[in-house]
Amino acid sequence: MGSLFGQFVRVSIFGQSHSEAIGVVVDGLPAGHRIDFDRLQAFMDRRAPGRNSYSTRRREPDVPKFLSGLLDGVTCGAPVCATIDNLDTRSLDYDDIRNIPRPGHADYTAYVKYGGNADWRGGGHFSGRLTAPLCIAGGICLQILEREGIEIGAHIASIADVADVPFDPVRVRAEALDEVKRKGFPVVSDGAGADMIRAVEAARLDGDSLGGVIECAAVGLPPGLGDPMFDGVENRISCIVFGIPAVRGVEFGNGFGAAGLRGSENNDAFLFDGGAVKTRTNNHGGVLGGITSGMPVIFRVAIKPTPSIGREQDSVSLSEGRNARLRVSGRHDPCIVPRAVPCVEAAAGIAILDMVLGWKNGRVELNGN
């Protein structure tokens, strides 16, 4: 258990960093949707490693191979399975960590959980590489959502202490999200982006790594998506987003900032705008009681600095039962935040398509159709 998500769109992710292949099964996609493979590949490429100085030098083409679920490139109602072969694996790089767990990684907890049978090579099933199949599933969901007028986009809100310009929570539109997606470095302000790249490079030269925050917006959502209590928008998005390695926190709307405001400051007044009910501000991040209000859904995700760093660190030798020193070799991103941006979009896409497909349950008439 563990690698399954969703009620209507069921996503099942498999693979380890150095297994034969990684992949995903997506069950429940509506039939009749043509997959735009070029756009999907472009989406995958935003996450793919080895493209620049701030990502790992492991190079993987990350081209999904579709095994099922399509007829002439169109979803046919059967589960879609797509795989990516693991090509550029160097298991020898990881020989040390078989015995000496890397600080900040799941090596130790996997060792405890699976009694020594865990696949220790490259982090196994806990590797960030598993976000590639997440992006296949999410990329497909995002295409379907776009046809329904729903667009999801993210940007780097901050890396270390360099902050980007936030999305306008009230007026953000699909065009603004698209503009960021077309950039090589996903920020609103290119100046801030340049500063971030410099900070990452400095950390890399230092044998160190950086974390950051990603902000994500979903626009075009109808009001009424989501369910009360444990199946609300926040529950579902946080549940899938915490499936991305290195995520340490999730907040919606003004999030932790709301804790410091008074009710009179935090409440978003309702008003009619062009015949539709809107809110004047959007501190609520488009969700009230777990259900979309029709305003943009806004959430932010905290990403910790890559735990694999070039410096020697304190750890333990599990076989010898004594403290030990570890220097992590292998190839690692000094900052995974840029590559995590499409992963957050993918996760949000899956969770939101899941809610869209369940949307009408509260009211549809069978024969009224």
Distance CA 360, CA 339 (A): 34
| Part in contact with its own copies (CB under 8 A); list of ranges 35-43, 45-53, 178-186, 224-232 | 224-232
Smallest distance, Å, CB 105 to its own copies? 7
Smallest distance, Å, CB 56 to its own copies? 14
Instruction: Classify 192 as helix, strand or coil.
Output: helix
| Part in contact with its own copies (CB under 8 A); list of ranges 21-29, 47-55, 164-172, 185-193 | 21-29
- Torsion over CA: 273, 277, 280, 284 (sign): negative
Cβ–Cβ < 8 Å for 138, 26: no
Name 288's bridge partners: 291
All residues at 6 or more sequence positions from 347 whose CB lies less than 8 Å from its CB, including other chains:
134, 138, 237, 240, 241, 243, 244
Asked if residue 150 binds its own copies (CB under 8 A), the reply is: yes
If the CB atoms of residues 182 and 363 are measured against its own copies, the closer one turns out to be 363
Asked if residue 14 binds its own copies (CB under 8 A), the reply is: yes
Asked if residue 208 binds its own copies (CB under 8 A), the reply is: yes
Cβ–Cβ < 8 Å for 223, 293: yes
Asked if residue 357 binds its own copies (CB under 8 A), the reply is: yes
Smallest distance, Å, CB 84 to its own copies? 10
Asked if residue 61 binds its own copies (CB under 8 A), the reply is: no
| Part in contact with its own copies (CB under 8 A); list of ranges 28-36, 54-62, 173-181, 188-196 | 28-36
Distance CA 283, CA 305 (A): 28
Smallest distance, Å, CB 234 to its own copies? 4
In whole angstroms, what separates CA 82 from the centre of its chain? 18
3-state secondary structure 11-66: EEEECCCCCCEEEEEEECCCCCCECCHHHHHHHHHHHCCCCCCCCCCCCCCCCCEE
The C-alpha angle with vertex 339 and arms to 87 and 210, in degrees rounded to 5, equals 115
Asked if residue 143 binds its own copies (CB under 8 A), the reply is: no
Asked if residue 52 binds its own copies (CB under 8 A), the reply is: no
Which residue do the tokens 């009620």 mark?
7
Chosen residue from 309, 340, 341, 343 binding its own copies by CB under 8 A: 309
Residues numbered 169-198 forming contacts with its own copies, rule: CB under 8 A: none
If the CB atoms of residues 179 and 280 are measured against its own copies, the closer one turns out to be 280
Burial class (CB in 10 A: 0-12, 13-18, 19+), 76: middle
Residue length of the chain: 369
If the CB atoms of residues 22 and 40 are measured against its own copies, the closer one turns out to be 22
If the CB atoms of residues 12 and 189 are measured against its own copies, the closer one turns out to be 12
Distance CA 108, CA 316 (A): 10
Asked if residue 67 binds its own copies (CB under 8 A), the reply is: yes
Smallest distance, Å, CB 182 to its own copies? 25
| Rounded CA Rg of the chain | 21
Instruction: Classify 107 as helix, strand or coil.
Output: helix
Asked if residue 36 binds its own copies (CB under 8 A), the reply is: no
Chosen residue from 55, 56, 75, 89 binding its own copies by CB under 8 A: 75
Asked if residue 89 binds its own copies (CB under 8 A), the reply is: no
If the CB atoms of residues 63 and 318 are measured against its own copies, the closer one turns out to be 318
* Of 34, 40, 32, 89, nearest in space to 64 by CA: 40
Chosen residue from 35, 40, 81, 135 binding its own copies by CB under 8 A: 81
Residues numbered 226-265 forming contacts with its own copies, rule: CB under 8 A: 227-232, 234-236, 238-240, 242-243, 245, 247-265
Asked if residue 288 binds its own copies (CB under 8 A), the reply is: yes
The contact pattern for its own copies, residues 99-138, with x = CB under 8 A and - = no contact, is: --x-xxxx-xxx-xxxxxxxx-x--xxx---x--------
Backbone angles phi, psi at 260, to 5 degrees: -100, 0
All residues at 6 or more sequence positions from 103 whose CB lies less than 8 Å from its CB, including other chains:
307, 313, 314, 315, 326
Q: Residues binding its own copies: what is the number (CB under 8 A)?
A: 163
Distance CA 206, CA 311 (A): 9
Smallest distance, Å, CB 48 to its own copies? 20
